[in-house]
Amino acid sequence: MIEVKHLYKSFEDKTVLNDINAVFEDGKTNLIIGQSGSGKTVLMKNLVGLLTPTSGEVLYDNRDFITMSKNEKVMMRREMGMIFQSAALFDSLTVLENVMFPLDMFSSMNYRERVKRAQECLDRVNLIDAQQKFPGEISGGMQKRVAIARAIVLNPKYLFCDEPNSGLDPKTSLVIDELLTGITKEYSMTTIINTHDMNSVMGIGENILFIYKGNKEWQGTKDDIMSNTNEKLNDLVFASDLFRKVKKAEMAEKK
Amino acid sequence: MQFFREIWLLLQQTTKDNNMFIIKLLYKYLTTFGDYLILIGRSLSRPERMRMFFKQYIKEMSQLGVNSIGIVLLISFFIGAVICIQMKVNIQSPWMPRWVSGYTTREIMLLEFSSSIMCLILAGKVGSNIASELGTMRVTQQIDALDIMGVNSASYLILPKIMGLMTIMPFLVIFSSGMGIVGAYGTAYLGHMLSPDDLTLGIQHSFNPWFMWMSIIKSMFFAYIIASVSSFFGYTVKGGSIDVGKASTDAVVCSSVLILFSDVFLTQLLS
C-alpha cells in the first residue's frame, strides 16, 4: 500500500501540487486522472523519487520514502517497476537484453537463469518472437509491452505507469490495460496508472484519484463515476458525446 | 547642467547593470561548475556490477576509440606530409643541417599535433557523440528508467566513457605520431621533396623519449576533459531535440577551450 499525506510540490513560486492526500491499495489498479498539466506526472515523479516534494509524506507500507537514506532509497527502488510514457527502452539493447537488464544489475542468477526469466516475462506479454529485435524495429504498442516485461522481471511490489496508452490505438490500449490488470492481480502489486484515457478509466479503474489544477478533487471507483455530481470530473470523463450518451442511458436505466 | 547630471545617472545605472550581469554570469558559471563536480563525484563511485562495468568499458573503448582510428590515421598522414613539405620549403637552407626537416617534423608531431591538436579534433567527433547519446537518453527518459531501477545512472553511463577514452587515447596518440612520420616519408619517397636518408637522420636526431611520455600524459588529461565535460552536457540536458543539439555544440566548444587552456599549463608543467 502506498499512502500520500499532505503532499505539496512547488517550482519556484508556482505550486503544482497542493495538499494531496491519497491511499493506493495493494492488488488494485489505482488510477490518477486529470487534464493535461493538472499535476499527474509531477505527483508520480514525487512518488517514485524523481522529484522531491516541497513537504509531505510518501509512505510505502508505512515506510516514509522521503526521509529514507540514499542507500535505503536504492533498495526501495528495486521493489519498484515503472513504465514510462515513451516506454524508455534502451536503444542499444535488444528486446531480450532490455528485459534482462534489471536481472543483470541486481540478481545473482547465472546467465541461463536470467535468459529464462526474461523469456518468461516476454512470453507473459506475448512478445517471445520479438526477443532479438531492437526497440527501433518494433511498434509503439510492442515497446510498451516490452516496458511492462522489463518492469515486472524482478517481481516488484509497486508498479507505476505514466500514460501507458498514449499514442496507441484503442485496441492496443485495451491489450495494455488487460495486461496491467492481469499482472496486478497475479503479482498482487500496488499499481498506479497515470492516464487521461477514459476507456481505461471506465475499464480498469478500481481506485481513481482525480486531480484538478494540483488539488485532489475526487476519489472513488469506476462505478462511482457514473453517479458522481462533481462538475469538473464530469467535464473530463464525459467530454465526448459517446460517454455522455452512455451516462444518460445508464442513469435512465437506474431510474 | 541638467544634461550632464542625466548622463552621469545613466552611466551609474549602466555600471550597476553591468555589475549585476557580471555577478549573474559568475553565479551561473560557479553553479555549472558545482553541478559538474557533483556529477563527476557520482560517476566516480564504485560500479554496482563489475561485470556490467567491464561490458560497458569494452563497448566504449570500441565506440569512442577504435572507431576513431581511421580518421586519426588519415589526418595524421596528411598533416605529417604537409609539415615535412613546409619545413623543407621554408626552413631548410644551405645554412641549416640537412636533418632539420625530419627533426622538426618529428618534434611537431610528437609534442603538439598528436596529443593536443588530435585531441581537439577528437573533441569534435567523440565529444558530440557522447553529448548527443546521453542527451537523447535523457530526453527519452532512459536515464530516468535507470534511476527508477535503483541504478546509479551517472556511474553506469559516464564512468566507462571516461575510463574507456583515457585507456584508448594514448594508443591513438602513438598511432598518430607513427602515421605522421609515414606521411613525412611519403613526401620523401613519392614527392621527392627531400631524400629519405636526410629524413631518417632528422627523425633519429637527438630523440628524447620523455617527449613521447609527455604526449601520452597530456592526451590522457585531454581524454578525461573530453569524456567528462561532454558527458556533463549530455547528462544534464533539459528539453527536447533542439536542446540535445545545443548540448552537443556546447560540449565540443567547452572541451576544446579547456583542452587549449590546460595544454598551456601541462606543457609548462611537463617540459
CATH number at residue A210: 3.40.50.300
According to the model, what pLDDT value does residue A71 have? 84
Within-domain flag for A24: yes
pLDDT higher than 90, residue A229: no
Does residue A237 sit within a domain?
Answer: yes
3-state secondary structure of A219: strand
The whole-number pLDDT of residue B1 equals 65
* Interchain pair A85, B48: CB under 8 A: no
| Angstrom distance (rounded) from CA B98 to CA A232 | 91
pLDDT at A26: 85
HSE-up of B99 (CA within 13 Å, CB side)?
A: 11
Q: Rounded to the nearest 5°, which phi and psi values hold at A64?
A: -75, 115
* Burial class (CB within 10 angstroms; exposed 0-12, middle 13-18, buried 19+) of A1: middle
CA atoms within 13 A on the CB side of A203: 20
Average pLDDT, stretch B33-41?
Answer: 93
What is d(CA A31, CA B163) in angstroms, rounded to the nearest whole number?
Answer: 44
Distance CA B130, CA B124 (A): 10
Q: Do A88 and B140 touch (CB under 8 A)?
A: yes
Question: Would the CB atoms of A84 and B147 count as touching at under 8 Å?
Answer: no
pLDDT for position B16: 59
Which of A91, A64, A89 is CA-nearest to residue A7?
A64
Kindly indicate the confidence band of residue B8, based on its pLDDT and cuts at 50, 70 and 90.
low
Chain B residues with CB-CB distance to A88 below 8 A: 140-142, 144-145
Q: How far is B18 from chain A (nearest CA, A)?
A: 26
Average pLDDT over residues A214-234: 82
> Which residues, at least 6 apart from A162, have a Cβ–Cβ distance to it below 8 Å?
A41, A44, A82, A83, A84, A85, A194
- Residues in chain B with CB shorter than 8 Å from the CB of A136 are none
Q: Is residue A113 part of a domain?
A: no
Q: CB-CB: which of A76, A84, A104 is closest to B52?
A: A104
pLDDT of B5 over the 80 cut: no
Of B214, B194, B216, the residue nearest B100 (C-alpha)? B194
Output the CA angle A163-A167-A169, nearest 5 degrees. 110
pLDDT of amino acid B239: 87
Strands (E), chain A: 2-11, 14-24, 29-33, 55-60, 63-64, 80-83, 158-162, 190-195, 207-212, 215-220
Nearest to B194 by CA among B104, B64, B117: B104
The predicted pLDDT at position B18 comes to 60
Angle ∠(B201,B204,B206) on CA atoms, nearest 5: 110
pLDDT of residue B83: 92
pLDDT level of residue B11 (50, 70, 90 thresholds): low
Is A141 within the bounds of a domain? no
Residue pair B168/B61 in contact by the 8 Å Cβ criterion: yes
Partners of residue A11 on adjacent β-strands: A14
Provide the pLDDT for residue B35.
92
Residues on chain A touching B49 (C-beta within 8 angstroms): 104-105
Residue written as grid cell 559538474 = B36
Q: How far apart are CA A116 and CA A46, in angstroms?
A: 34
Q: Please give the Cα distance from B76 to B112 (Å, whole number).
A: 12
Task: Determine the distance in angstroms separating the CA of B146 from the nearest CA of chain A, rounded to an integer.
Answer: 9
Average pLDDT, rounded, for chain A? 86
Domain membership of residue A201 (yes or no) is yes
Average pLDDT rounded to a whole number, residues B218-233:
95
Residue B15 has pLDDT above 60, yes or no: no
Most distant CA pair in chain A: distance in Å? 62
Please give the pLDDT value at position B206: 87
Sign for the pseudo-dihedral over CA of A104, A110, A111, A116? negative
To the nearest whole angstrom, how far is the Cα of B130 from the nearest Cα of chain A?
A: 14
CB of B38 less than 8 A from some CB of A: no
B48 → closest Cβ in A90, A91, A105: A105
Q: Which grid coordinates belong to B170?
A: 594514448
Interface with A, mutate which of B42, B149, B151, B155 (most A CBs under 10 A): B149
Residue A248 has pLDDT above 80, yes or no: no
Instruction: Give the gap in angstroms from C-alpha B154 to the nearest C-alpha of chain A.
Output: 14
Chain A closest CA to B56's CA: distance in Å? 11
Q: What is the pLDDT at residue B150? A: 86
Number of domains composing chain A: 1
Bridge-partner residues for A63, per DSSP? Answer: A60
Is residue A255 over pLDDT 70?
no
pLDDT digits (tens, 9 = 90+) for A51-92: 889 999 999 988 888 888 888 888 888 888 889 888 899 998
Tell me if A135 is assigned to some domain.
no
Domain coverage including residue A44 = 2-79+156-254
SS3 A21: strand
Q: How confident is the model at residue B143 (pLDDT cuts 50, 70, 90)?
A: very high
Quote the distance between the C-alpha of residue A230 and its chain's center.
24
**Closest residue by Cα to residue B138 from B246, B243, B211, B16:** B243
Residue A126: inside a domain, yes or no? no
Q: Quickly count: other Cβ atoms within 10 Å of residue B101's Cβ.
A: 30
CB crowding B46-57: b at 16 or more within 10 Å, else e? ebeeeebbeebb
CB contact under 8 A, B141 and A88: yes
Contact criterion met (CB < 8 Å) for A88 and B145: yes
A77–B148 CB contact, under 8 Å: yes
